[in-house]
Amino acid sequence: MQIARQWISAQPEHVAVGYPGHILDDAEAVAYFEGFFDWYNHKHYHSDINYVTPQQVHKGLRGKTVKQRLSQYRAQRLRHRDENQ
């Protein structure tokens, strides 16, 4: 828990929202970190894994997600190019 607390304390405010600054007991720690780890693993996009969530990686969706994004990006660039000619 100490390592997780140190990591959260070092993050920008938008990440550490709701962090009480100190934890009084194990129940308070569990309550806070259950929510934090849910956010971290299911909603937070990680730059080291191509801006997908760890959940997407564990489900085997990383490649599909990145490929889909790239396809959308290329299509948007073509639309933008065509509109500006």
Place of tokens 């934090």: 36
Give the residue numbers spanning the domain of 69.
Answer: 47-85
53 and 26 part of one domain: no
55 and 78 part of one domain: yes
32 and 57 part of one domain: no
Task: For residue 46, give the DSSP letter.
Answer: B
Q: What confidence score (pLDDT) does residue 55 get?
A: 96
Could you read off the pLDDT of 3-54 as tens digits, one per residue?
A: 666 666 666 654 555 666 777 788 888 888 888 888 889 998 999 999 999 9
Question: Computed over its alpha carbons, how large is the radius of gyration of the chain?
Answer: 19
Q: What confidence score (pLDDT) does residue 84 get?
A: 87
Task: Please state whether the predicted TM-score (pTM) of the whole model is above 0.85.
Answer: no
Could you read off the pLDDT of 43-75 as tens digits, one per residue?
A: 989 999 999 999 999 999 999 999 999 999 999
Q: What confidence score (pLDDT) does residue 34 get?
A: 87
